[in-house]
Structure 1
Amino acid sequence: MKYISLFACSLAFNCTVANAQLNADQVRSSLQAHQSAVLVKDDIWIRDPYITLAPDGFYYLTGTTQMPTKQSAESAKYNVGLGDSSQVGWQVRVWKSPDLVDWKYAGAPFSLENGYWALQNQDAFKNTPKRKWHLWAPELHFINNKWVMVHTTPGPVKQGSNLAVSRTAELKGPFDFPLKDLSKGLHDPSLFKDTDGKVYIIWGNTQIAELKPDMSGFVAAPQPIHPSTLRIMGDGSKKEGIGHEGCTILKIGGKYVLFGTGWSTNKGRKGSYNLYYTVADNIKGPYGPRQFVGRFLGHGTPFQDKQGRWWCTAFYNANVPPLSTEGIQTKDLRDNAYTINKQGVTLVPLDVKVTPDGKIEIKALDPDYAKPGPDEVQKF
């Protein structure tokens, strides 16, 4: 794998993120080739990048980000986003692009101080320094001609996740919060609208619930969904679940595909952060075995571009700066958290097939992402 465009000031880590520049023509050419990973945006600190193609013809990008006024030193570029040193901010920031190449900042339509929990627990917000306000893993969904935003957060209100619905087709506030208290405690929530119009919310590892048409509650009690095979944990034990977090559902070839994220070793922050999937005929299961999508693709967004080609977002999530891709396919990474993704948004091409017998096959096309490493606990 070879990134099409790198930092203008080289990889010596002696320049700021703001100085990084991408060659638009090279990025466009690589996207058209659909063979290798492409760094499409390198001027922001971001995790959990989420991209959706809206009816207006624009791709919308959001994710876990810093505040707009935050100016990171080079030493903070690879901040892990965890603990007291976290760089994570408290707004949903958005960029839009007609072609996945030229991105324009579209503002911050939502912030924690405008959310449901800021209204319900004003004291928590008043008594918690803003540097400890954190908004994680936002997603944007255009449903029934309105924007619906979901996210998770550890504070100021513990597990104060939000489901926010715009009042018009424009991505701007004020927002309504129809789910109210039921939105609390939803780790990494995601939404899925089925072809029959029903909307589901999924979270954790993994719970699913159908939402009422006005999103004011659950049609029935949430229930767990998971692969038929058990994950092998780092200590040799076995556990249900697609992964640790970052789940989403897509419908492909009439099948329901549940994606989930986990570390290759099934130990926290050990190995590579990977993406997995499992398939079912019914959205609530039963699901088949846990299968491998790609290495270093954890909490990525699988999506189709305007030409129908599949991509997955990828981002920096490690304890050390990105590794060189030289020899990475056979490198054992079990002793720490590693990645080859640079800070910013990388798009990795996917091969998504529906076989003649109706099976769904998904894999990364770039060879540095395509196969599990020797540190992978499950054997695929």
Structure 2
Amino acid sequence: MKRIFLFVFIAMSLNTFGQQKTAQGIVAPVLPAMSKSEIKAGLKTHNKALYIKEHWIRDPYIILGPDNYYYLTGTTANPDDSREQSDPYNKGLFEGSIVGSKVQLWISKNLIDWKYLGTPYSIEDAYLFDNKSKDRNVPLWAPEIHWVDGKWALVHCPSGNSSLAFSEGKNVEAPWTHTMGKAFHKKHDPSLFQDDDGSWYALWANTYIAKINDDFSGFASKPYFIRPSSKRPNPNNPEKMISRIGHEGATMRKIGGKYVSFGTAWSTDKMRKGSYNLYYCVADEILGEYGPRKFVGRFLGHGTPFQDKEGRWWCTAFYNGDVPPLEKDGIQEKDLSKTAQTINQRGTTIVPLEVKVLDNGEIYIRAKDPAYAMPGPDENQDFNLQ
């Protein structure tokens, strides 16, 4: 009830304060994050999406570190960029993008109160692939951090400046070293995965995977392309079919002894048309064969599936649209194929996931919040969901 009143109050007050305008000239309010009490209650019930932090971010990434803190990073504007306030619904793409050249980092004990740790990494810390000096204005996309043998590994793109960098110790900070060197060049949306035997793998695009040498000096195997067993229509070429998870946002988790490969695509399989969704496929072996492409959640594209301290699963979500956020009411029946649309507010949202091993051994993963749980009418693939 408080949230409804707050939204109405902000909307009525646009003429006097809080007025924000998108790059397309659309006036829209930017809602604050949920109250601490609301987030706390939602974390306990684990049944609805929680808008935990208001800020300009894409590709939010959350990991529980060895110190029992949650670490949050993602694609952000630079800290001193005034456009974060003047152009809050900037899509971060094309001309006028406010994506910055620095990695921003926050930590939290409870997913409620966040402490800002500054910018421990910038494009100047990236590996230099040629003899040209680094361009400080190059944007830095989709950073992730991973705990590897007592130090932090940081990966990021775009592919022309993609890097795998290591800290010297337990703090996420410079100086950074690049043991992989040129081997990590041209890796779109890179991620890392550690298997039960301690082996590390790199994932990128959607989805290539390759084993990394034990000393992180290079790759121990050639890239393997994860391809789901199922196919779906190619909306851009009716005579062909698509057999991929998505086009970006690769992530892997091991659940129930099986390998779960996550990927991101637009619901329509057309760029920036529909909702930005998360999908998965499963295999008994890390290099396949993988089963059919399955649906995780609507509006969860490039989300990070992670477990909280109690072992419950969540997935990060963020605003990715060409128009301001839509209302949740009735969203399940709305066809969003006209343009890129979302219900996520600007900032970091976490959505509860139901993750279980079925009696037949299959892995079931689905968003629990009803607004995220089912594909919309604009979905290109027929999942035959009950």
Q: TM-score range by the shorter chain?
A: over 0.9
- CA shift for structure 1 position 230: 2.1
SS in 1 for 2:10: coil
- Look up the match of 1:33: 45
- Look up the match of 1:207: 208
The amino acid across from 1:102 in the alignment is D
- CA shift for structure 1 position 74: 4.6
Q: Deviations over 1:75-119 (max 9, x none)?
A: 5111110112001001111100001000110121111112212x7
1:231–1:242 Cα contact (<8 Å) kept: no
**Alpha carbons of structure 1 residues 115 and 170: separation in structure 2 relative to 1, 3 Å:** same
The amino acid across from 2:169 in the alignment is T
C-alpha distance in 1 between matches for 2:56 and 2:117: 16
- Look up the match of 2:143: 138
1:6–1:22 Cα contact (<8 Å) kept: no
C-alpha distance in 2 between matches for 1:175 and 1:96: 20
Match of 2:102 among 70, 87, 91: 91
- CA shift for structure 1 position 240: 2.4
Structure 2 stretches lacking a partner, 5+ long: 21-28
Percent identity among equivalent residues?
A: 51
**Alpha carbons of structure 1 residues 317 and 21: separation in structure 2 relative to 1, 3 Å:** closer
C-alpha distance in 1 between matches for 2:74 and 2:30: 18
**Alpha carbons of structure 1 residues 6 and 104: separation in structure 2 relative to 1, 3 Å:** farther
C-alpha distance in 2 between matches for 1:364 and 1:241: 21
**Alpha carbons of structure 1 residues 289 and 153: separation in structure 2 relative to 1, 3 Å:** same
- CA shift for structure 1 position 21: 5.4
SS in 2 for 1:83: coil
Is 1:283 matched up with 2:295? no
Match of 1:351 among 347, 351, 354: 354
C-alpha distance in 1 between matches for 2:10 and 2:113: 22
Pick which of 228-237 and 47-56 moved more.
Answer: 228-237
The amino acid across from 2:380 in the alignment is V
Q: How does 1:24-173 map to 2 (within 5 A)?
A: 24-42=36-54, 44-72=55-83, 74-117=85-128, 120-123=130-133, 125=134, 128=135, 130=136, 132-153=137-158, 159-173=160-174
**Alpha carbons of structure 1 residues 266 and 163: separation in structure 2 relative to 1, 3 Å:** same
The amino acid across from 1:336 in the alignment is T
C-alpha distance in 2 between matches for 1:229 and 1:3: 42
**Alpha carbons of structure 1 residues 100 and 275: separation in structure 2 relative to 1, 3 Å:** same
Provide TM-score, normalisation by structure 2.
0.91
- Look up the match of 1:23: 35
- CA shift for structure 1 position 167: 1.3
The amino acid across from 2:356 in the alignment is K
Q: Deviations over 1:256-289 (max 9, x none)?
A: 0000000000000000000000000001100000
SS in 1 for 2:161: coil
- Look up the match of 2:234: 233
**Alpha carbons of structure 1 residues 5 and 168: separation in structure 2 relative to 1, 3 Å:** farther
SS in 2 for 1:181: helix
- CA shift for structure 1 position 70: 1.4
**Alpha carbons of structure 1 residues 221 and 85: separation in structure 2 relative to 1, 3 Å:** same
1:8–1:22 Cα contact (<8 Å) kept: no
Name the structure where strand makes up a greater proportion of residues. Answer: 1
SS in 2 for 1:56: coil
2:59–2:74 Cα contact (<8 Å) kept: yes
The amino acid across from 1:324 in the alignment is E
**Alpha carbons of structure 1 residues 3 and 186: separation in structure 2 relative to 1, 3 Å:** farther
**Alpha carbons of structure 1 residues 8 and 144: separation in structure 2 relative to 1, 3 Å:** farther
Match of 1:298 among 288, 296, 301: 301
- Look up the match of 2:23: none
